[in-house]
């Protein structure tokens, strides 16, 4: 028994010593690891301290930083915050003669018939002009902004970079260009924004946005110009836009987009966003050259006047460009012409493809609309057009745009949009492969085409008795044969018919 106890005691003592030895060995390893880590960290820290920033790189960065500081000092005082209040009056409902306020609000408020509602708006603007002669020695300052910033506001105020605030009044606005101008009086000598040349802007240029995003006054963000000549802005807007990845948010509208010299190259206007209105790097600004003439017109006349050519323009699709040998060409196609317009008197006809104005390239419909709109009434200009595959120059004397005349469909010639008969159209209408002509895509109400009874999905096979099998022959016959009279031969379903004659 004693021998057994001695054996167990010896075994326990051995296990105890083994555990103790393992514990001591673990502490030693942990200490050595800690020491190495500490030493390595110190070595890394010492290495970091001995790796200075290259002086040439630091100098370049500091010079760029100095430039941005100078831009902020130069531009911020000329960019203001615009606060608006729109007031609308609404009929207050009543129930069996008991006014709404009796249930929801002060029963003594109003008379139970009408109530005033006030909504506030916020945007930015750019001080572009100063005219002496305001009241009490103050000067009148003019602020350029967006039409959608001021809208139908009843009250407008301007807040300066230093926090001072002044009452402002609307000078003029124009929805087509999304531009507006307000004025305010101030006794101080305020700096004016320096307007640059947006035609010289190129993709990759620095772009700095200055304004009041989300109400944060005098904010400055930076990026580059992502694209120029962008179209597809808010409905009815005819501008071609500068695209930038500079952070632009609500409240930036009407503010300045400036270049590295602190010159205004654009007016921040809208953003494309999939996040409910937040910036995702797709901001758009109206090129400042689109607005320069508008400044004087707002101040002198309170509105923008437009030159008028008297045509309806389209950007032709690939089937049309291929049919007219225009593939790869830039410009705008004349689809309709107003009778008695400057275009008709100058020799421009439906089917002409306008590629230039006074030698300057036309990039598309919006671009040409802007170019013509900026022409002065009475000005004689030269359009470069492609007709029947050949380039020619046509001289036209521009007139002032009359919105009533421009909306009068009865003078729009011929009033029909036609496209080549494609395989898909043949399949849809179950047309025989031998049928040739033009597919009627749209007939404009009250125009000559509508008066003679053309209908959508008709196939035009002849104009004034002259057979037409493609777009080129259609427009050629329209120019040469359709003078004082106009009629069509059409295939409509299983019928072939001749329309009545339209006489001018």
Active site residues: 148, 178, 253
Distance (Å, whole) CA 34 – CA 40: 10
DSSP E strands in 358-428: the ranges are 360-361, 380-387, 390-397, 399-400, 412-413, 416-420
Give, for 368, the enclosing helix (H) or strand (E). helix 365-373
Distance (Å, whole) CA 424 – CA 426: 5
Tokens 């030493």 correspond to what residue? Answer: 39
Q: Count Cα atoms within 13 angstroms, Cβ side, for 89.
A: 6
Distance (Å, whole) CA 432 – CA 436: 9
Tokens 């037409």 correspond to what residue? Answer: 468
DSSP E strands in 37-176: the ranges are 79-91, 94-95, 98-99, 114-131, 139-145, 155-159, 165-174
Alpha helices in 302-422 (DSSP H): 318-323, 342-346, 365-373, 403-406
Contact 268, 282 (CB under 8 A): no
Distance (Å, whole) CA 382 – CA 360: 10
Q: Distances from the Cα of 24 to the Cαs of 27, 28, 347, in angstroms?
A: 5, 6, 104
Distance (Å, whole) CA 88 – CA 111: 17
- Per the DSSP assignment, residues forming a β-bridge with 125 are 80
Q: Can you read off the two tokens belonging to residue 393?
A: 């120059």
Distance (Å, whole) CA 220 – CA 325: 48
Q: What SS3 state is found at 63?
A: helix
Distance (Å, whole) CA 443 – CA 296: 40
Contact 453, 460 (CB under 8 A): no
* Among 124, 463, 104, 444, CA closest to 286: 124
Contact 385, 349 (CB under 8 A): no
Distance (Å, whole) CA 238 – CA 229: 11
Bridge pairing between strands 179-186 and 139-145: antiparallel
């Amino acid at each position: 028994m004693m021998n057994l106890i001695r054996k167990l005691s010896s075994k326990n003592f051995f296990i105890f010593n083994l555990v103790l030895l393992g514990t001591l060995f673990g502490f030693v390893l942990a200490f050595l690891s800690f020491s190495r880590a500490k030493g390595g960290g110190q070595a890394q820290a010492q290495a970091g301290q001995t790796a200075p920033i290259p002086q040439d790189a630091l100098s370049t960065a500091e010079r760029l930083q100095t430039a941005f500081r100078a831009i902020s000092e130069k531009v911020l005082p000329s960019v203001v915050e615009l606060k608006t209040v729109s007031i609308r009056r609404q009929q207050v409902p009543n129930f069996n003669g008991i006014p709404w306020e009796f249930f929801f609000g002060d029963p003594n408020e109003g008379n139970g018939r009408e109530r005033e509602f006030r909504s506030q708006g916020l945007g930015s603007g750019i001080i572009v002009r100063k005219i002496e002669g305001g009241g009490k020695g103050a000067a009148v300052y003019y602020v350029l902004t967006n039409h959608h910033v001021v809208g139908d506001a009843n009250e407008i105020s301007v807040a300066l970079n230093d926090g001072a605030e002044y009452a402002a009044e609307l000078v003029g606005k124009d929805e087509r260009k999304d531009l507006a101008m307000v004025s305010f009086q101030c006794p101080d000598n305020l700096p004016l924004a320096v307007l640059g040349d947006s035609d010289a802007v190129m993709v990759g240029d620095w772009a700095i946005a200055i304004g009041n995003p989300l109400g944060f006054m005098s904010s400055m963000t930076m990026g580059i110009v992502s694209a120029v000549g962008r179209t597809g802005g808010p409905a009815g807007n005819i501008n071609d836009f500068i695209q930038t990845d500079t952070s632009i948010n609500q409240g930036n509208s009407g503010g300045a987009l400036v270049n590295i010299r602190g010159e205004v190259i654009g007016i921040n206007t809208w953003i494309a966003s999939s996040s409910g209105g937040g910036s995702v790097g797709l901001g758009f600004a109206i090129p400042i050259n689109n607005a320069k003439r508008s400044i004087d017109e707002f101040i002198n006349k309170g509105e923008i006047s437009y030159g008028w050519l008297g045509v309806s323009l389209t950007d032709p699709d690939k089937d049309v460009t291929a049919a007219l040998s225009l593939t790869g060409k830039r410009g705008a196609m004349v689809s309709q012409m107003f009778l008695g317009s400057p275009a008709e008197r100058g020799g421009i006809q439906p089917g002409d493809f306008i590629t230039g104005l006074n030698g300057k390239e036309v990039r598309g419909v919006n671009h040409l609309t802007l170019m013509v709109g900026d022409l002065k009434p009475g000005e004689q200009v030269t359009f470069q057009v492609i007709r029947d595959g050949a380039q020619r120059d046509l001289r036209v004397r521009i007139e002032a745009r009359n919105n009533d005349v421009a909306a009068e469909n009865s003078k729009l010639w011929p009033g029909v949009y036609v496209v080549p008969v494609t395989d898909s159209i043949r399949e849809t209408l179950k047309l025989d492969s031998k049928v040739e002509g033009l597919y009627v895509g749209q007939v404009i109400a009250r125009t000559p085409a509508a008066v003679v009874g053309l209908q959508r999905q008709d196939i035009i096979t002849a104009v004034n008795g002259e057979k037409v099998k493609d777009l080129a022959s259609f427009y050629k016959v329209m120019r040469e044969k359709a003078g004082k009279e106009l009629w069509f031969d059409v295939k409509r379903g299983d019928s072939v018919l001749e329309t009545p004659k339209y006489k001018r």
